[in-house]
Amino acid sequence: MYNILLVEDEAGIQFANKAHLERSGGYTVRTAMNLAEARQSITESVPDLIVLDIMLPDGSGLDFLNELRQAGNNLPILLLTALSEADDQVKGLRAGGNDYLTKPYDNSVLIARIESALRTASKIPVSLSVGNVKIDTASKRAYVDDVDMGLNIKEFSLLEQFIQHPEQMLTTSGLYEKVWGQKMIKDNTALKTAISRLRAKLSELDAGYTITFSKGEGYYFEQV
């Protein structure tokens, strides 16, 4: 049984979706009519997946999506939008949405998309390692030879990117977008600071790996 949080302000749609999901037998559904209720709901219990409407009375669902991703929360999110404009769909996916549905949609399509997002999420490995460096994506902790590196969430997310792409060039703007969940602004001091702290911790713990910078290209995670 999966727990779904359904964030939808149109009562009719909310009622129909909840009833359809619960009738299908695999889901329990909590509902929220707006962003305030959604924020409150996840502090009470973390769902397995969020179905998130974008146009809500107290703001945009995309803001809530950004908040969750910036807090390092990777739970699958399926966006609902009445806007068929490609722009909003792209924005939603860039912000870390897993998939989207354009209204009106069929309830059987909603279930198929939910199943697909849950399947994908369960395939994401929880633990990844390169050399002596290991990350646990569930607890957001990183280790060198089982010693906790004590990373903050941004440093952890950066390391997660590097560990997924060892010895490969990662651009400054690409890293920024992945980790901060938004387009890079001119001043990337935050990224530089996080990288230099991460580099110092790798060195301090003799990880055998470091982050090098190649001017005009980007960063590499490579063996010392």
Residues that bind Ca ion (CB under 5 A): 9, 53, 55
Closest Cα to residue 143, out of 199, 201, 191? 201
Task: Return d(Cα 163, Cα 127) in angstroms, integer.
Answer: 11
Residue nearest to Ca ion (CB): 55
Please report which helix (H) or strand (E) contains residue 5, including its range. strand 2-7
According to DSSP, the β-strands at 49-53 and 55-56 are unpaired
Taking 3-state DSSP, the helix, strand and coil percentages for the chain, each rounded to the nearest 5, stand at: 45, 25, 30
**In the complex, least distance from residue 103 CB atom to Ca ion, rounded to whole angstroms:** 8
Closest Cα to residue 179, out of 93, 89, 66? 66
Which DSSP symbol is given to 37?
H
Give backbone dihedrals phi and psi of 184, rounded to 5 degrees, phi first.
-70, 130
Q: Which is nearer to Ca ion, 55 or 121 (CB)?
A: 55
**In the complex, least distance from residue 62 CB atom to Ca ion, rounded to whole angstroms:** 12
**Residue 62: count of CB within 10 angstroms of its CB:** 21
User: Going along 70-207, which residue ranges are E strands?
Assistant: 77-81, 99-102, 127-130, 133-136, 141-144, 147-148
Which DSSP symbol is given to 96?
T
Q: Which is nearer to Ca ion, 55 or 153 (CB)?
A: 55
Task: Return d(Cα 34, Cα 10) in angstroms, integer.
Answer: 10
Please report which helix (H) or strand (E) contains residue 9, including its range. none
